[in-house]
Amino acid sequence: MNMLSRDALPLPKTCIRGFEHVNRYLDRQTQKFVAKILPGEYYVSRDDELIATTLGSCVSACIWDEFAGIGGMNHFMLPLTKKPSHEVSWGNVESDATRYGNYAMEYLINGILKNGGQRKNLKCKVFGGGKIIQNMGDVGQKNCDFVLHYLSLEMISIIAHDLGSTCPRKIVFNPLNGKVQMLRILHMHNDTILARERDYQKVIDKPPVGGDVELF
């Protein structure tokens, strides 16, 4: 049987309105479409697709309602800001406000509830917050502290987490059932890490060496 190329396969037609800008591609191994979110982005889905990102000091919350069959993931870089969302600017980028944890969490949860999820059924898994560069301060730990505190205040159950440490992580999340695959990236090119952690503009792509994939 011939395999269809990435270009020959249509993207799922039921992409929730408002998320058309997120990069989505066919993963040949799983034969599922993957929404790849960048720093400051979040994505909500009710389709049989995956959501992926790579984290250094940033944190991602994977939140889902398994009864409604909907979930999503965010990727935030700093814990919070007190500025109104329309006043936040990192260079005239659409996802400016959701680079901060308080907006990233609010928008993600509201996106799930708006599209059929129920707050009482929400569960969460959280990842990231690594100290990738030793002299870069404790932003990773602050992100970890923030997300745990936020979820506690919102009374959303944390089913699993992998936070802190000193290595980047690649996360792949299934929004329908809450399953997460996590790969700790053991060796990276230093210039890539520096670029990622210093300016929060670039994403770590295709790490040359990784550790074992863990299931959460």
Domain ranges (residues) in the chain = 25-215
Least reliable range by pLDDT among 59-63, 66-70, 186-190, 200-204: 200-204
With 90 as the cut, is the pLDDT of residue 172 above it?
yes
Whether this model's pTM surpasses 0.85? no
Most trustworthy range by pLDDT among 83-92, 192-201, 204-213: 83-92
Q: Spell out where the chain has E strands.
A: 23-27, 32-36, 42-45, 50-55, 59-65, 70-74, 123-128, 157-163, 169-173, 180-184, 213-215
Res. 206 pLDDT band, cuts 50 70 90 = very low
Query: Looking at residue 81, what is its pLDDT?
Result: 79
CB distance 43 to 19 below 8 Å: yes
Report yes or no: 123 and 155 within 8 Å, Cβ to Cβ.
Answer: no
CB 55 within 8 A of CB 169: yes
- Band of pLDDT at residue 9, cut at 50, 70 and 90: low
Looking at the DSSP bridge assignments, the partners of residue 170 are 54, 183
How is domain 25-215 classified at the CATH fold level?
60s Ribosomal Protein L30; Chain: A; (3.30.1330)
pLDDT above 70 covers a percentage of the chain that reads 75
Q: Mean pLDDT score of the chain, rounded to an integer?
A: 83
Q: Per-residue pLDDT tens for 123-164? A: 999 999 998 877 767 899 999 999 999 999 999 999 999 999
pLDDT in tens, 59-86: 999 999 999 999 999 999 999 877 766 6
Q: How many CB atoms lie within 10 A of CB 114?
A: 12
Q: How does residue 214 score in pLDDT terms, banded at 50, 70 and 90?
A: confident
Residue 179 corresponds to which tokens in the numbers above? 């399953």
